[in-house]
Each structure stands twice: as C-alpha cells, then as structure tokens.
Structure 1
C-alpha cells in the first residue's frame, strides 16, 4: 500500500479527506474506509469510527461487504466450469470420464439441485440456468421480506422459493434476486461437496493474498479475538435522540453467495487488480464470461449512470463520460459497500461503511468526486450528488407522510368501521413462503413482531375503512420517516371470522398481496 501524501497521483488528498469527513457527519455515518487503485499503486485511508466509543476505521478494518459477494460467486462458478472442461479434456479410455453432466453457464439449476430448486412456475423451474440466476432474469422478484430467521439454512432458503409468486416470465426482464445467488451457492456446494466459503478461500482469496477475508461472523470474530483483525460494528442514527444505535451484527447463513463476505478495502484492492488485469486465478474465458453483459436494466432505480444500464454475472456494466465502468454495491443491516473498476484506465476503488443505505449515499458522492477528478469533468458538468440524494430522501419521506391519501384516494369522508371488534382480528396467520404473521392488539391498531426474520421488522396496522388498512413496515432501527407504508386487507369468511390477511410485502407485485391464512382457530 502506498498512501504517501506527496505522490501526485494520490487522490485521497486533504480536499478529499475534508469532503469525506463532512459527508460522514452530515449523513450520520460513523466510519468508512476507502481504497483507490491506480495501475500498480494502491492508496487507502480510514475515516471516522469503526466501533464506539473510539475504535478508528483503518484500511485494515473489516466490514460486511454484502452484495459485492456476488462477483465472487460468479467467479467461483467460472472456476468450476474450467475444472469441468479440463477434466473432460484430459479423460482417456483408461481413466473414467466425469460422471456428472457437463457444467456450463447454460446448465439448468434443476439438474444440479433437483428437488430443491422449484419455482412457482413449472417452465421456469425446468429451464432456468445458472446464467439466468446470476444475471437476475428468472422472473422471480427478490421477496426480501420473506427471508427467514438465523436458523434458516442455505438449502431451506432455496426450497422456500417454490412458495413465492413470480411476477414475470423467465428471461423477460431484469429482476434483482438475492435468493438466486443462494441457489447457485447451493448448487456449487452440492456438486463439490465443499462449503462455498472454503472454496472461495482456497481458490480465490488465498491465491490473491486476501488474508483478511472471511465467510462467517464466527470466523471474523475469531480473527478479532486473536488480534489479527478489527471488525467494524454497524449502526443506525436515531434522529429523535440524536445518537447512534448499535445494530446487531448480521449472522444469517442463508444469504451465502448473495452477500456473506466480510473483508476490508485492502483485500478488495487485490480482487480489483485481478479483475483489471484479467489475471489468475480466473482464466481468460472465466473473466470474459463474468463481465459480459447479459441483460438490459429497463428501470435504473438507484443506478446513477445514464442508460443503457447492463448487468453481467455479479457485476453491473455502465458507461460514464465515455469510460466503461464495471461495478457492484452492497448493503446489509448496519453496513454498505461499493467497488468498481475502469478496465481501460486500470483504475478502481473500494469503499466500506458501517450504516445501511446512508453509507451507500456517501460512497456515491465520494466516488463521483474521484471519477470526475480522474476524467477531468468540468466543474459546471459535475452533479451535486449530495443535493440530489437529499431531494430523493425528502421526496420519499413526503410520499410516506401522505401514504393514506396516496394509497387510498377514494376513502369516504366518514370511513366504514371494521366488521369485527379489534381483538377479533388478532391471531396467528401464516404464509408458506413468508412464515408467521402473529397479530396482536396495539392501542387502536394491530402489530406483528417479525424481528427474528433477516429483515427485522414490526408490521403495524392502522385502520382506513371497512376491511382496508395501512401496513407500516417498521424495519428495526430505521427512521420513522423512512418506513415503507403499503396497503393491507382482511378477508372475513362466511362464519364471520377474519380468515386471512393480505399485505403488499413485495414491491414488484404491485397491488397484489401476500395472503397470510389464519391458523389459530
């Protein structure tokens, strides 16, 4: 690592330092690490607090890197494909040929994990390939709110997909889906008989010298206890109390290849150098496969780059001011990360922070400053990302505050009261894919505690009219102004009881609800 301030190429200068510290304070992010790789030089710094009260962030600090893990999962599959091709090429009459069917990007997932990989659509089940899963074109939305508790295994998460509605046809559109990376991880482990974390350690991390990268929280904590590493703690900002609140460290094995890794920016610098230089342990064919665009993203969402926006295998592929940029971000409870490389410039960066969402906002502001500096963007053509994100957040909060009028524009002046007394709606409801929704009376409304799920939340219901309600999806420690508000509804059965409860739990389903069936009668 070269962090010398007198190097003319060092972008992490005093001006950048000042901007980073200002943005961290303004957006309430305790700490962040940054690495910039320019050719054969790496510049890295830490800013702020890794763990209160006073543990500083350094370039060596460990963070959960969330969805940036996906690039490693696709790389692992490329190595397996290479292994398979080599084994078949070297097999002779005197040595038994491999018994498995050839592994390619076109291999059907159902053939790799039969019985486990089942979707709600039989055609998609039979034809979805490894490639389809890795480029998010299976027709299955993310169903993030269905993710189970910490006891959920990789195989169980894959098996749960059969209970989750699809919203598109196979290969019809881009639809980001974390569970598909879990399915690919399960396929890799089934084929190799080896945990994917061990596979990555032996085949990618160790060859690249990524000695401070871990697959499980237990491994990272063990490294911390031995003095080999310091693990950042995740936080959320409590605006009312004006203080940071510690988030529980994520400890959910089911995400697996979609987002399990824990690492630091120096190790990620080694990964980015590998990608920029197309060097081992990936083969030339493997490298070409993982960065080749597979699908157009029609709605950019939070993608800051102008279209066409593309997705490869674990990488977004975009263009900024004529330069190809290959990148991926990541976010999990208490953490946010971002990495990118410009292959034609041999330039890249990695950033890691210890809040969810706001870390990613700050990273975008910082990396555009780096990109604009690198590419010489005129000052009057640079986007003020700080102002833009403030506007986006403000508009979201305004929409949330107007949820009743926005979601139910035709409510009568005098709303119809519910058909039943409030306590008659309380009870145990369940959905085979989303699990339990146990509603209890809470003041003039109802509430369900789902804080044991990976996306820990309370679902709070507020009556609107008749059997129509507002559901406030209160993710743990999230600012009340940022709570997602959706429509909910009860169905009163012929016997006069609340037989089922529907709520808009998956945004890609639009107004279609996930229906939880009552089971306590």
Structure 2
C-alpha cells in the first residue's frame, strides 16, 4: 500500500538490513537507491563508492549503462516532431545515413526503419565483440560486415550497435553531439544537473564519481578480493549506454515518465502522444517467470505484466557498474538503483527493486518470487556449460598441422577488426584485445587438429564467475601456412564462425 507517513521506506531498519545482506551476498561495494511514490521521492546511499572508505550518497555518480537507451529513443521521438528533419519511426535508416548504414544482406538493410533499430528486431544479433574504440560513424559502418541470424521483424535480438546507429541519426539530423542534444532537450528542463554524457565531464563534475570493482572470490575462494576497474571511455558507446548520473537526477526523470503531461508543460514534447509512442510494445520477448502474459520491447523499455500491473523497466550493465529502473505508471511508482560491480549489481538491484514493489503492492512474503534462486541458477548453468567445454576431450586427438609459432600473427575481419595472436611465455597461443569496447585476455587451448578453445577472461557479464569460451579453428593453405582463423564469438550464430584473414 502507498506510504502515507512520508517517512522514508529506504531507511527502515529491515530494509537497510536487507540491502546490506544483498550487497554482501553479491559482493557489491556500494549502491544508491531512489524511490518515487506519487508526490514523494526518497533517496539513500549504502556501502562504499570507492574503497576503502568513501561512502555512497544519493548524489554519487554511477554509469547508467543501457538505461541510456530510453533517452536516445526519447530524443528521436522529439526529432520526429520536427517536420524539417523528415524522420519518422518508419523511415528507412539507409535513407537517413546514406553511405554509412548497410547490412550484410542489402535487401534487409534497405528495409530497416528507425523503429526496427530501437526495438531490437533487425535480424542482427548482439555482435558485442565487434564494437571497438573508434568513432560512432565507424562502428555504424562495421554493421555491413556482420552476419544476420534472423529475418527482419521475426525475432527479438538485443543489439547495442543499433542504438549507436540511432545516435548517428540524431547527430546527422541536428548537427550536434548527442550529449548536447540530451542536455538541452531533457536534462536542463527537468533540472537534471548531475547527469553527464562523457567520462571527462563526469570526472570534472562536483559530484563524486564511484569507482567500479569486480570480486575475485565468487568461485568459492575464501580470500576473494575486490579489484578496481579503470573507468570505461564512452565515445563509441554513445546512445547505447553513455550516461553517467545519480539517483537524484534519475528520480526527476522517473517522476516525469510517471506524469507524462510534464513533457508537454515543459515544452519537451509537443504532444502527449509523442511520449506514449515510446512505451508502445513493438517486439515480443520470450515469457519468463514471474511475469504473466507476453513481454515486449518498446523503444528503450521492456514492458511486462507483474502481479496484475503493467510495468516498464530496463537494466544497464557496463564493465564495472549496474543499473535498474522499474516503473509502475498506474501507481505512479518507480525505483532507481545504481551500483558499482558488473552483473552482480544487476542481480542485487533486481531483488531490491522488486522487494520495494512487493512492499508497495502488499504481496505476502510466501508469494514473492525468489530472484536470488533464479539468478544463481542462471549462473550455475553458465558455469557448467563453460566447464563442460573446457573439460571436453575428443575421442581422437589429432596433432597440430604446424608448429605453434606458425599460427602467430595478426588476423583481420571487416566487422570485428583485428586480433593479434602471439606465443605466450607459457608456450600457448594468446591474444589480448584491448582496443575493443569490452576488452578481454584470451588463452588458446588445443582441442584436436587445428581446432582450439579460446578461454577468455574479462570483467563484464559472467566474468566474475567463470571465463567465456569460444570455439576457434585455423585454416591451413596448400603452402602449409595458417591463413585464416574462425572464432565462434556470437552464440546466436549457432556455432558458425566469424572468419579472420591473416594480414
């Protein structure tokens, strides 16, 4: 039920205890939470923004990750209101970015609209390994070389690079950097003075920017420790995930989303209909407990039914940060959570956000969904899959075609750029990808013949729990030289490989 006492539910002893227990369980150093309920907003900080002793406060800055996508979609909605731009949701992107936007299937590429790109139904899977530390325009141009795995508008496949393309559209239409567009169109009218679109601006801000960490002891190591992670540069991520903000500012954003007439009152949108288009379901997402009925991706938002209420949510995950937004328009209720570890903070935030919603709805504790159990099951399944790949031994182990040093060299792919393979001091093939958005360090484990398993250590997704593994295969020319390497970097391709040619 609605809190009528005006006392902060975030400071109740039981909730503070739950937060600390959750941070300890998931090994998250610090977290900030804000809750909006009607006219009331509460915000608190818990734990540490940076070790050993800097506390989190409501003004502490965190990376917002993919919660940025809602702003990118909103900015495009604003652009569609301007007749001079000639941009509509059904406008083909190839018409807006001639010479820059194309897909490996030209027919599909010519049909993809702005709406398709923002609702993850283009047929292009994630291809996150293809995102490199280059310009927005260059990352968009790489799309032409990435394989599709579905027909247009037939399957939900989350794709960050399409939101980078959306950034390019906005910047081409307005002639301005997306960060300036968002500040002028949204953040300034809403009084969001602690929100930034570049690492440089966030570092220079008066607010404290939290440090990101990953924890090394999730595998059962009793001596696990926190490792500080360098702040991630954001230029190439752009509208897919560049926002750095605090829960106070995001509470202002959520309050406006829950009362969309404010958009019109502040001359952000010309019509309430412009806002409602953002929450209109576009692409079906596979159903999952505890949600009932179909789930869908709108434009920068996931919408689903929970306990009889339509909710809107989105998470964000960067190299060492996590974010969670959860809104229930019917109740004018919203939760914002920002924290400073990769993936694990998403699990912690999900549990706490839905706990606050369950409290608001008055759901009896025995009827509440066990988020920890579900998320640990997901982790254990991934760990087992990785272990099975690493432990696999083929019935017959064939020798290498060449001495190991003959596989060394730089291999290139038009979409995935370069991978340089070298012989490590321990006598195994290695590769370090440092100039990509999601850096990784790779060991090649010989399987049989010219087949290897790439074992990758990194700090995002499940990297705190287990490495990533990818099948790899070298091709040998008739002259007896390694001339290409295939890597199964994209799971949605079902084992098909991305082929790199030796330079």
Asked if structure 1 preserves the Cα contact closer than 8 Å seen for 2:31 and 2:337, the reply is: yes
Q: Please, what is the CA RMSD of the aligned residues?
A: 1.9
In the TM superposition, what is the alpha-carbon distance from 1:61 to its structure 2 partner? Answer: 0.5
User: 1:435-470 deviations in whole A, cap 9, x for unaligned?
Assistant: 111111233431111023111101211011112111
Residue of structure 2 equivalent to 1:316: 302
Residue 132, structure 1, aligned to residue 110, structure 2: no
Q: Quick one: which of 450, 460, 471 aligns to 2:454?
A: 471
Residue 22, structure 1, aligned to residue 21, structure 2: yes
In the TM superposition, what is the alpha-carbon distance from 1:59 to its structure 2 partner? Answer: 0.7
In the TM superposition, what is the alpha-carbon distance from 1:6 to its structure 2 partner? Answer: 6.3
Q: Quick one: which of 182, 199, 216 aligns to 1:238?
A: 216
Mapping 1:298-317, distance limit 5 Å: 298=286, 305-317=291-303
Q: TM-score, normalised by structure 1?
A: 0.90
Residue of structure 1 equivalent to 2:317: 331
Distance 1:299 1:377 in 2: 22
In the TM superposition, what is the alpha-carbon distance from 1:40 to its structure 2 partner? Answer: 0.5
Distance 2:320 2:353 in 1: 20
Residue of structure 2 equivalent to 1:391: 377
Q: Which moved more, 1:334-343 or 1:431-440?
A: 431-440
Distance 1:439 1:307 in 2: 48
Residue of structure 2 equivalent to 1:451: 434
Residue 504, structure 1, aligned to residue 488, structure 2: yes
In the TM superposition, what is the alpha-carbon distance from 1:423 to its structure 2 partner? Answer: 1.2
Q: Quick one: which of 266, 286, 290 aligns to 2:274?
A: 286
Residue of structure 2 equivalent to 1:462: 445
Asked if structure 2 preserves the Cα contact closer than 8 Å seen for 1:132 and 1:171, the reply is: yes
Distance 1:359 1:284, change over 3 A: same
Mapping 1:144-293, distance limit 5 Å: 144-149=128-133, 152-223=134-205, 228-239=206-217, 241-278=223-260, 279-280=262-263, 281-282=268-269, 283-293=271-281
Asked if structure 2 preserves the Cα contact closer than 8 Å seen for 1:439 and 1:447, the reply is: yes
In the TM superposition, what is the alpha-carbon distance from 1:432 to its structure 2 partner? Answer: 1.2
Distance 1:193 1:480 in 2: 41
Asked if structure 1 preserves the Cα contact closer than 8 Å seen for 2:287 and 2:294, the reply is: no
Residue of structure 2 equivalent to 1:77: 76
In the TM superposition, what is the alpha-carbon distance from 1:480 to its structure 2 partner? Answer: 6.8
Asked if structure 2 preserves the Cα contact closer than 8 Å seen for 1:400 and 1:483, the reply is: yes
Secondary structure, aligned partner of 2:207: coil
In the TM superposition, what is the alpha-carbon distance from 1:385 to its structure 2 partner? Answer: 1.7
Q: Quick one: which of 255, 265, 285 aligns to 1:297?
A: 285
User: 1:334-362 deviations in whole A, cap 9, x for unaligned?
Assistant: 10001021010000010000011000010
Asked if structure 1 preserves the Cα contact closer than 8 Å seen for 2:69 and 2:240, the reply is: yes
In the TM superposition, what is the alpha-carbon distance from 1:210 to its structure 2 partner? Answer: 0.5
When the two structures are aligned, how many residues end up with a matched partner?
A: 489
Q: Quick one: which of 430, 433, 438 aligns to 2:415?
A: 433
In the TM superposition, what is the alpha-carbon distance from 1:8 to its structure 2 partner? Answer: 5.2
Asked if structure 1 preserves the Cα contact closer than 8 Å seen for 2:10 and 2:16, the reply is: no
Secondary structure, aligned partner of 1:249: coil
Residue 116, structure 1, aligned to residue 100, structure 2: yes
Asked if structure 1 preserves the Cα contact closer than 8 Å seen for 2:202 and 2:244, the reply is: yes
In the TM superposition, what is the alpha-carbon distance from 1:394 to its structure 2 partner? Answer: 2.2
Q: Which moved more, 1:25-34 or 1:394-403?
A: 394-403
Distance 1:304 1:248, change over 3 A: farther
Q: Quick one: which of 87, 90, 93 aligns to 1:106?
A: 90
Residue of structure 2 equivalent to 1:376: 362
User: 1:171-199 deviations in whole A, cap 9, x for unaligned?
Assistant: 12111111111111111111111111111
In the TM superposition, what is the alpha-carbon distance from 1:234 to its structure 2 partner? Answer: 0.6
Distance 1:340 1:476 in 2: 25
User: 1:254-287 deviations in whole A, cap 9, x for unaligned?
Assistant: 1111100010111111111111111212331111
Distance 1:334 1:267, change over 3 A: same
Tell me, which stretches of 5 or more residues in structure 2 are unaligned?
none
Asked if structure 2 preserves the Cα contact closer than 8 Å seen for 1:463 and 1:470, the reply is: yes
Q: Which moved more, 1:74-83 or 1:327-336?
A: 74-83
Asked if structure 2 preserves the Cα contact closer than 8 Å seen for 1:331 and 1:360, the reply is: yes
Asked if structure 2 preserves the Cα contact closer than 8 Å seen for 1:401 and 1:481, the reply is: no
Distance 2:272 2:481 in 1: 63
Secondary structure, aligned partner of 1:517: strand
Asked if structure 1 preserves the Cα contact closer than 8 Å seen for 2:284 and 2:295, the reply is: yes
Secondary structure, aligned partner of 1:329: strand
Asked if structure 2 preserves the Cα contact closer than 8 Å seen for 1:451 and 1:476, the reply is: no
Tell me, which stretches of 5 or more residues in structure 1 are unaligned?
85-97
Residue of structure 2 equivalent to 1:35: 34
Q: 4+ residue stretches of structure 1 with deviation over 6 A?
A: none
Secondary structure, aligned partner of 2:36: strand
Distance 1:460 1:360 in 2: 28
Distance 1:267 1:476 in 2: 28
Secondary structure, aligned partner of 1:77: helix
Q: TM-score, normalised by structure 2?
A: 0.93
